[in-house]
Structure 1
Amino acid sequence: MSTPAINGVLQNQLSFDGREKLVAPGFEPLYSTGLGDAYVADSLSLLQALPDDSVNVVLTSPPYALHFKKEYGNADKADYVEWFLNFGREMFRVLKPDGSLVLNIGGSYNPGSPTRSLYHFKLLIELVESVGFHLAQECFWFNPAKMPMPAEWVTVRRIRVRDSVEYVWWLSKTPWPKANNRRVLKPYSKDMERLNKKGLTKTVRPSGHNIKSSFSDVGAGGSIPANVIEDELPLDLLKFGNNAANDPYTRRCKEAGLKIHPARFPAALPEFFLKLLGEDGDVVVDPFAGSNTTGAVAESLGMRWIAVDRVADYLEASRFRFYS
């Protein structure tokens, strides 16, 4: 299947591998790859078109409820929870019983005050208590590129510190979602390698934990990662922070004169969760796809995907993510 040129710059051949893709009836994709489809559409309408229990992972970063408007659109804080619950109910419906919703959502300050909004906590509570999700685990994306904002509190009056983490709610349809942390093991630290060679003496820590074996007895093949996600898992050219200026996507957007999405997340974030929660052939949906980092990572892992965004320019440029 041939992909149309983007402003005469890009044209390439993508082939299907014979897997059956999840189809959204009544919607025509902007472009397709061997494993996925990208749609310019209303996300809620497209979710409503998907069948029950058909998706393994919904992984997305919706527009945050900020007290100033962004060009890609964001709901007002006062209405945000109710606005998102409409999507949350459909996400719950389309997920398979062992499926997961991974929701990256940032916090914000209350307007005119150096105090934090609680909107994202309120949303979490409603997704659990009203929609029926279970909170599998709260995780955090460490984003060192975040600007010191609001400037009035951080850099002018200097009464607050720079905010460098964003929340990632891992929610599941049942208490027992499909997950395997062996797929995201990290290399052992130098200290662990040293202990492996030296051996560990049986001991009881002051906390009461009984330490009775070295990790060589476990044979796990790596250390279990923490719930703080950093850009450290190898994914070659797809791995860049959200402020990268010279990655293939950004560079080719500039060459083609296409608008770069202003709120991208790094490939390390979907890579971590798709490895943890999915496997080859699973179906991944991102209803607020933006520049489609999720779809590109899913494709690299052999997963089928659907990406949806209402801004055609952002999805048009996201084709570049599928070319090295």
Structure 2
Amino acid sequence: MELDISSIKGYEQEIEKAATSEELYQIKVKYLGKKGLISGLNKQLKDVPNEDKKEFGMKLGELRNGFEALFNSKETEIAKSELDAKLEKEALDITMEGFPLSAGSQHPIMSIYYEIADIFGSMGFEVAVGPEVELDRYNFEMLNIPQEHPARDMQDTFYISDEVVMRTHTSPVQARVMESKEPPIKIIAPGKVYRCDYDITHTPMFHQVEGLLVDKNVTFADLKGTLTTFIQRMFGSGVPVRFRPSFFPFTEPSAEVDMGCTICGSKGCRVCKGTGWIEILGSGMCNDELYRHAGYEPGIYSGFAFGMGIERIAMLKYGIGDLRSFFENNLKFLRQF
């Protein structure tokens, strides 16, 4: 059987005349598409006698290879021509100024974090850190928080297992330091903590700074002087400070510390609920149970501890009403700082 090649004449001239990639593509469809002229010859293979199939296939392959060689050469030529035309039309002026890039800045929480560390550092406190996934022993037991204490409730604490929790405060760092060294101890323990809360004043993850000073002859007056100095350096020397009796499992006596409302100048407003005072942190003299858990000899040492939320300090410092604003990553909000 003779190969019907009469209908496949002229593709050389068509390829040569093609001026654009679109025109060249239409030629390819005409000859090699699903219903193309060259593709259609494949259908004749079934009608070719077995003794002629080899010759028929060889001629068909030569025809297809010849078309593809011409097509590929022309495709490269047209692509280069079109690229040159595009570059000439869309010339790049390398002397033009680039787009301005905004520099990043420190998150407001971290700014307050470092400011707190600087203030206490100037008073001789060292920074201590510990694990965020903590053992029950350090998070509760060594801090005089027994099994039946409400702080151990599943609604207050993220439990990994019966003996492992996401730390609910940075006090475990204090316990670890006391266990590992003898006094004098003078540290702050800043870091992330986790509790099952979420509203305008609570989030499941937040930051705390807790402090511990243990030495001989430490008194409540030392505690008052240290915290008053911190508050007035953070918020201004004229800010009044007061201590109110309170209760914490690991301190005795304990005190809540209030400062004069910076929003209304202690005159009374919505933020301070008309009292002129805002609670800022908790504190107290270390309970003797802490010394016993740490293995210290009873009656020799005394000390104080305190703790505060960094977000709360930031809210008061910047006048922010919703704690969640710090974690929503709103650039308009963050750029204010």
* Larger Rg, first or second structure (1 or 2): 2
When the two structures are superposed, what TM-score results if normalisation uses the length of structure 1? 0.23
Structure-2-length-normalised TM-score:
0.23
Greater share of residues in helix:
2
Bigger RCO (CA 8 Å, 6+ sep): 1
